[in-house]
Amino acid sequence: MSSFFKKTLSGIKVAHHKNTEDCKTVTMPVPAKVSLPMLQHMGAPCVPLVKVNDTVNVGQLIGSSDKFMSAPIHSSVSGRVAAIEEYINPLGVRTQSVIIETDGLQTVDPSVQPPVVGNKEEFLAAVKASGLIGLGGAGFPTFIKLNPAKPEEVDTLVINGAECEPYITTDYREFMENGEEVLEGIAAVVKYLELKYVKIGIEDNKPEAIAKMKELTAGRDGYEVVSLKSSYPQGAEKVLIYETTGRTVKEGQLPADAGAIVMNVSSVGFLARYLKTGMPLVTKRITVDGSAVAKPQNVVVPVGAMISDVMEFCGGYQKEPKLILMGGPMTGIAVYDDAFPVIKNNNAILAFDEDFVNEEPESPCIRCGRCVQACPFDLMPAALEKAYHAKDVDALKALKVNLCMECGSCSYVCPAKRNLAFSNRMAKKFLRENSIK
């Protein structure tokens, strides 16, 4: 076994809190306005294609970029463009956002038509046009992922259904409510990319999803549903590839270098629906949960809906929220209020009251080494934090901060409550902004 993975096989134990796993997905009504940031993905921001007072329809293309690494953005509502304004996202990145006042009609744009797909090129063009990005949280444009440099060396599609983050149950609901569409999406990828094997990885705390997918895939050559041990972070791309295929993605490599492409279960489910309807990515299922939420549930929301509107739909706050997270407790981003829009790769909004939030302040590192033990990639989080605070580029590179996948395991186990994963995120941003490879 490679030392690269010696910690991965154990992972860390986190409480699951899958409180909403049995909550059938509900759809929230269209809010009075949406805010559609022009950066909802990894890569270059889009440029708005509309102007103030334009009328827009559902599914209409409203933002695009001529840069390769980007993903188009479509309107999730019909209505009028009320403003195009600067938007600072929860990580402090400035971009523009198109604010649309909805008319309540949800008129579908005439451009929304099922794509004509007869070969790989048309398939990839359709995936790009759909606006699909990795829905597991990373936000990587899917059409790029599906077009590796050496396609002849890729033979396996790995479906990420681990959903190892506490609280979040959106992927589980995708399996349970749309299992057939998940398979249709998988079949399309397998067909156009000429893949041989499909590995569907699901943590063993979701036995119903495992049973359902085993039933649906029975008799399909090359398909395997892999029951994964419930430990964190099983859903991390490199970990998942190892656990489902036994292949190792070495340092500096991409999954395609190990012959695999990884897609989130909700991504393939969406892809199946897009190929049938042509409706781009304009809605998102999110888990709304946490001690401050009156009615935790899984909700389909229009992309761009404000957290405050989503919360109102979920019965409002039953207690004053002390902490609001976009995403799960391990990798999510804390926001200081609920005036932020839900974007494509959000998969949860969690709100916790004062009693639930750990108010213990950070204290000095006691050099216990637990963060190193917890890291799946043998990184040294305490040393990385020190290097980041010193803005020591050489040390950050030597300590391989770019290998950090921001899983949050180190922060979780740290007895000094140091926010190590966030420090790594900021360190990577610092290297990027200074174009330091």
Query: Which residues would be at the binding site for ligand SF4 (CB under 6 A)?
Result: 365-371, 374-377, 379, 381-382, 404-410, 413-416, 418, 420-421, 424
Minimum Å gap between C-beta 11 and ligand SF4 is 10
Minimum Å gap between C-beta 242 and ligand SF4 is 14
Minimum Å gap between C-beta 409 and ligand SF4 is 4
123/377 with CB nearer ligand SF4? 377
Q: Name the region of 153 (left: φ>0; alpha: ψ -120 to 50; beta: rest).
A: alpha
41/428 with CB nearer ligand SF4? 428
Q: Which residues have C-beta within 8 Å of that of residue 240, sequence separation ≥ 6?
A: 158, 160, 162, 201, 228, 234, 262
Closest CA to 277 of 133, 70, 74: 74
What is the DSSP code string of 59-99? T-EEEE-SSSS---EE-SS-EEEEEEEEEE-TTS-EEEEEE
| Angle between helices 207-217 and 170-193 in degrees, nearest 10 | 30
Minimum Å gap between C-beta 12 and ligand SF4 is 9
Minimum Å gap between C-beta 87 and ligand SF4 is 27
Whole-angstrom distance, CA of residue 298 vs CA of residue 176: 13
H-only helix segments in 195-264: 207-217, 237-245
Asked if residue 73 lies in contact with residue 128, where contact means CB atoms within 8 angstroms, the answer is no
Cα separations in angstroms, 193 against 20, 187, 236, 237, 277 = 35, 10, 23, 19, 21
Whole-angstrom distance, CA of residue 358 vs CA of residue 349: 18
Which residues in 178-193 are b (16+ Cβ under 10 Å) and which e? Answer: bbebbbbbbbbbbebb
Asked if residue 287 lies in contact with residue 298, where contact means CB atoms within 8 angstroms, the answer is yes
Beta strands in 229-331 (DSSP E): 260-264, 283-289, 297-302, 321-326
DSSP class of 304: T
168/399 with CB nearer ligand SF4? 399
41/418 with CB nearer ligand SF4? 418
Minimum Å gap between C-beta 405 and ligand SF4 is 5
298/409 with CB nearer ligand SF4? 409
329/408 with CB nearer ligand SF4? 408
114/369 with CB nearer ligand SF4? 369
266/409 with CB nearer ligand SF4? 409
112/383 with CB nearer ligand SF4? 383
Minimum Å gap between C-beta 342 and ligand SF4 is 24
